[in-house]
Amino acid sequence: MPTGGRRSDTDMKIILPRQFVRIFLSALLIITTLVSTGPVRKASAQESVDILAGQFINPPDDAKIMMRWWWFGPSVTKERLEREMLLMKEGGIGGFEIQPVYPVALDDGKIRTIPYLSDEFLDVLRYANRRAAELGLRVDLTIGSGWPYGGPSVPVTQAAGRLRVEKTRPVSRRVPLPDISEGESLIATFFRRANGSQTIEAFNEIATIRDSAAWLPEVPRTGDEVFFFIASRTGMMVKRPAIGAEGFVLDHYDRSAIDDYLKNVGDRLMRSFDYQAPYAIFCDSLEVFNSDWTGDYLAEFEKRRGYDLKPLLPALAADIGPDTESIRHDWAMTLTEIFNDRFLAPMRDWAKTNKTRFRMQGYGIPPMTLSGNAYLDLPEGEGSQWKVVRASRWAASASHLYGKPVTSSETWTWLHSPSFRATPLDIKAEADLHFLQGINQLIGHGWPYTADAADYPGWRFYAAGVFNEKNPWWPVMPDLSKYLQRVSFMLRQGLPANDIALYLPTSDAWTSYSNGRVGYLIERLRDRVGSECMPAILGAGFNLDFFDDEALNKLGRIEGNEMAMGVNRYKAVILPNVQRIPQATLQKLEAFVDQGGVVIATRRIPELAPGFKASADERSRIRQISARLFEGTNAKAHFVRDEKGALGAKLASLVRPDVAFSQPGTDIGFIHRSTESTEIYFIANTTSSTRSFNAEFRVRGMNAEIWDPLTGSISPAPASQKGVSGTVLAFEIEPYGSRLVVFSKRTLPAVSARAATGLRTEIDLSSDWRLDIDGRKKILPQLKSWTDDDEHRYFSGTAVYEKTIQVAAEWLQKSFEIRLDFGSGMALVEQELRNGMRTWLDAPVRDAAVISVNGNRAGSLWCPPYSIDITRLLKVGDNTLRIEVGNTAINHLAGRRLPDYRLLNLRYGERFKPQDMDNLEPLPSGLLGPVRLLVR
């Protein structure tokens, strides 16, 4: 079964079997030949796999993880910036995104704040860019401070807009107008009679506005209402701004506001990039709360929708009958279109003009759709929840549809909150969930700049993990980074191979918008799709992409019995709980079914045409097509009412699963990439327990290999079997473990058998370790957490364990394997978390260890299996084991008062609140035992 110890990457040249040296030499010969022999020939399938294998072991730098680098204040110095860049490089981090944010310390002579966009700020920004280029680090730049875009250059007339609705019950014909502030204007006023009909006819626009009042045409009665519709401003200020970056959030629907912002902020920032343009500019979270209006919205609406919204404005604030949802649909749809034209397109063009790329988290408010990501060079998501509609799969799906090979995600936000609590195992476990959704570039959230004068463990962002050298587990960061780099690299190979296209019912989501309830479109879609549809698909042995109407109509083409969109070919389309659907979409899906394609509707069948101006003919055609597809005994497509109980089975009966697991459920996830010469599967155990199972892959005529991203080792898969529709492999995957399965025509030489055939000797090493901790040395009669001793209860750092063992000559025979085994840990009961995610394993090593034997590094242990092969480093007789163990910084924080930000808040206003820092307790640390030497 695919198992094995975890070794250090620095020792790969020692541990690789002879056949892999041959692979390296073969790849080198191929590359040399291709470069030196004139006309370039295409590498053979065998050569392509050999080259890929070499790259997998040491992937290119562009697959390395990055970090969001928070410059607090900004209170930065060139010397410290250089030091932190060197540390990033040392830790295997490939670059950073610069994000200036709020101050965390007052100026005191040692710490000095540099105002954002000042000449001095631009000077240190220029230095960071140049030094990063010298170090080979990628630099991305947020065009602003904090989020969303905005600041002091944004006047109230260009601040984020909203439709303000004020209601009052009149007592006379004269109804005073509400206060109209700067940046606001009255759009319209309506009078509604009490007990009137639930139609627009119940609302009468008041034409007479004079003397700061609206004048009713008649004396009001009890229960009558007056509605004032006002073009207003949200008043939202930039969140978490640096000093000098405070101000209004800009109107993302106003082209002049975007242009002025880029001139005042973007162009000034770019002066620091005269040496080299940033790799990408970045737009962080779209969180322009309550923004649903702009100055010329009514004119734009009529131009785009073909009718005047003004007399129908009451539909946005009240129920006016059957047309209410259709009008709200058109209102939200128009917001999306204006945002595309006036924000996304100009940002893309500005990035191109400045010879950089546009990277963005494309979801939130304004209501950006999935296909809005087509404007981006680098779509970005966030969120580890892989079985519901979330932004990571949203971004990856858009990349798959629109041919963008790299998709990033904001990773580890709130991971095992509070700051400094996350362990390397937590980091790996969350990253794997992003990988399962199609992410292949991780942007760590994040790396806090820390002044030299700051107390240990340094500065930290209020809502994030900390992944810098202040963590005592930092010595294993290069190994952790290499794992993440290898998986990211492999998930960029070839093309995505997801079978299922899951339709996002955007029209239904738009109808849920109303005045004061303009939320994230992606959240409305999540509610619409529900919590059972995606687990049913994933559990049936498929992976999926989202798509929307625009993607289908721009990219969709029928190829045989598959629906192709971009480079993707989908074997089935799922319509989850869809009520409204454009006629063009439904017609294309019917054509797909007529060519043998699979379409399944769940919970309900589509029956309504979206939009207020939908014609009677269009409404009738949608009902007719839907009836042909889903109703009666002669239905051409399929309908499943119970997603949880029936969708997976129905899907598997119509399409062969890509990977059929012997164990039901969705605890084991996979994602599939396909190249000309390989089929690549990443498989992850997302639970705290070991999982043993068989998996039947829809692959025939190819040989399976296990590529271990933790070690870089490659080996033939254990004996496979022919299944009903593919190749069956047996797996035993440790808690939160993962594997890469690579199918190709290549045949690896058989690895000389050193696998365990029987336990010869087991030696308990749990006692009498020499411990060096915090400047103190002692002998441990029995392994235990160092926090059990009062003197080390609040110690955060590294401790060194040493022990001398005897090795018999017979153990070093060729057929023997000797492992240092620390146990498997114990699964914990999962609990509801306030924020983020964490792993649920009581590990035997807390929290990371570097193992050396006789002065030679054997490798590191920071995730299951907590076991390592040390055979090659042993000698006959005495052998010295040295284990350096690092915990987290939480113990240190638990033993001290938290920073007092009272004066800071008085000076600058309260710009953040530390999260989850109350009631900290020290955590078990060190080697907890038992430790065994296993001789097989």
Task: Give the distance, in angstroms, between the CA of residue 381 and the centroid of all CA atoms in the same chain.
Answer: 5
HSE-up (13 A, CA, CB side) for residue 346 = 18
Peptide bond connecting 606 to the previous residue in cis, omega within 30 degrees of 0:
no
Q: For residue 429, which of 844, 733, 819 has the smallest C-alpha distance?
A: 733
Amino acid present at 653? S
Confidence of residue 752 (pLDDT cuts 50, 70, 90): low
**What is the distance between the alpha carbons of residues 382 and 407, in angstroms, rounded to a whole number?**
11
**What is the distance between the alpha carbons of residues 763 and 475, in angstroms, rounded to a whole number?**
28
What the block records as the tokens of 388 is 């519901």
For residue 40, the model assigns a pLDDT of: 53
3-state secondary structure of 650: helix
What the block records as the tokens of 724 is 């009903």
- pLDDT surpasses 80 at 500: yes
Contact of 100 with 116, CB cutoff 8 Å = yes
**What is the distance between the alpha carbons of residues 791 and 193, in angstroms, rounded to a whole number?**
76
What the block records as the tokens of 531 is 């919590």
Peptide bond connecting 457 to the previous residue in cis, omega within 30 degrees of 0:
yes
Contact of 399 with 440, CB cutoff 8 Å = no
Contact of 193 with 154, CB cutoff 8 Å = no
Which helix (H) or strand (E) is 732 found in, with range?
Answer: strand 727-733
For residue 391, the model assigns a pLDDT of: 97
> What's the rounded mean pLDDT across residues 467-494?
98
**What is the distance between the alpha carbons of residues 712 and 23, in angstroms, rounded to a whole number?**
13
Interval 583-614: pLDDT, tens: 999 999 999 999 999 999 999 999 999 999 99
Contact of 769 with 39, CB cutoff 8 Å = no
DSSP notation for 306-364:
SS--GGGGGGGTS--STTHHHHHHHHHHHHHHHHIIIIIHHHHHHHHHTT-EEEEE--E
For residue 464, the model assigns a pLDDT of: 83
Interval 124-171: pLDDT, tens: 999 999 999 999 999 999 999 999 999 999 999 999 999 999 999 999
Q: For residue 700, which of 685, 720, 714 has the smallest C-alpha distance?
A: 720
Contact of 444 with 411, CB cutoff 8 Å = yes
Pairing of β 598-602 and β 572-576:
parallel
> What's the rounded mean pLDDT across residues 318-340?
97
> What's the rounded mean pLDDT across residues 653-682?
94
- pLDDT surpasses 90 at 3: no
Q: For residue 585, which of 615, 637, 639, 548 has the smallest C-alpha distance?
A: 548
Confidence of residue 923 (pLDDT cuts 50, 70, 90): very high
Other C-beta atoms lying within 10 Å of the C-beta of residue 775: 5
Helix axes 616-630, 583-594, angle to 10 degrees: 30
Confidence of residue 711 (pLDDT cuts 50, 70, 90): very high
Query: Distances from the Cα of 481 to the Cαs of 474, 485, 496, 710, 711, in angstroms?
Result: 11, 6, 24, 10, 12
Q: For residue 493, which of 713, 670, 683, 674 has the smallest C-alpha distance?
A: 674
Q: For residue 619, which of 273, 857, 353, 323 has the smallest C-alpha distance?
A: 323
- pLDDT surpasses 50 at 23: no
**What is the distance between the alpha carbons of residues 588 and 606, in angstroms, rounded to a whole number?**
14
- Sheet with 738-744: list strands edge to edge: 495-496, 668-674, 679-685, 738-744, 703-707, 714-716
Mean pLDDT of the chain, nearest integer:
93
3-state secondary structure of 487: helix
Interval 537-547: pLDDT, tens: 999 999 999 99
Contact of 164 with 184, CB cutoff 8 Å = yes
Largest CA distance in the chain: 108
**What is the distance between the alpha carbons of residues 780 and 757, in angstroms, rounded to a whole number?**
34
For residue 139, the model assigns a pLDDT of: 98
**What is the distance between the alpha carbons of residues 563 and 568, in angstroms, rounded to a whole number?**
8
What the block records as the tokens of 309 is 């919204």
Which residue carries 């860049």 as its tokens?
A: 85
Pairing of β 638-640 and β 598-602:
parallel
For residue 751, the model assigns a pLDDT of: 60
Q: For residue 579, which of 597, 602, 556, 563 has the smallest C-alpha distance?
A: 602
- pLDDT surpasses 70 at 5: no
For residue 89, the model assigns a pLDDT of: 98
Q: Could you tell me how many residues make up the chain?
A: 936
Q: Of 13-22, 91-100, 404-413, 745-754, which range is least confident? A: 13-22
Which helix (H) or strand (E) is 806 found in, with range?
Answer: strand 798-807
Pairing of β 818-821 and β 248-249:
unpaired
For residue 178, the model assigns a pLDDT of: 97
**What is the distance between the alpha carbons of residues 64 and 467, in angstroms, rounded to a whole number?**
14
Buried b (16+ CB within 10 A) or exposed e, 434-458: bbbbbbbbbbbbbbbbbbeebeebb
3-state secondary structure of 5: coil
Task: Give the distance, in angstroms, between the CA of residue 217 and the centroid of all CA atoms in the same chain.
Answer: 57
> What's the rounded mean pLDDT across residues 55-62?
98
Interval 616-663: pLDDT, tens: 999 999 999 999 999 998 999 999 998 888 999 999 999 999 999 998
Contact of 603 with 643, CB cutoff 8 Å = yes
What the block records as the tokens of 85 is 């860049």
**What is the distance between the alpha carbons of residues 573 and 570, in angstroms, rounded to a whole number?**
7
Pairing of β 572-576 and β 500-503:
parallel
Confidence of residue 759 (pLDDT cuts 50, 70, 90): low
Contact of 511 with 582, CB cutoff 8 Å = no
Give the CA radius of gyration of the chain.
31
- pLDDT surpasses 50 at 26: no
3-state secondary structure of 808: coil
Which helix (H) or strand (E) is 250 found in, with range?
Answer: none
Contact of 280 with 377, CB cutoff 8 Å = yes
Buried b (16+ CB within 10 A) or exposed e, 274-285: eeebbbbbbbbb
**What is the distance between the alpha carbons of residues 360 and 380, in angstroms, rounded to a whole number?**
6
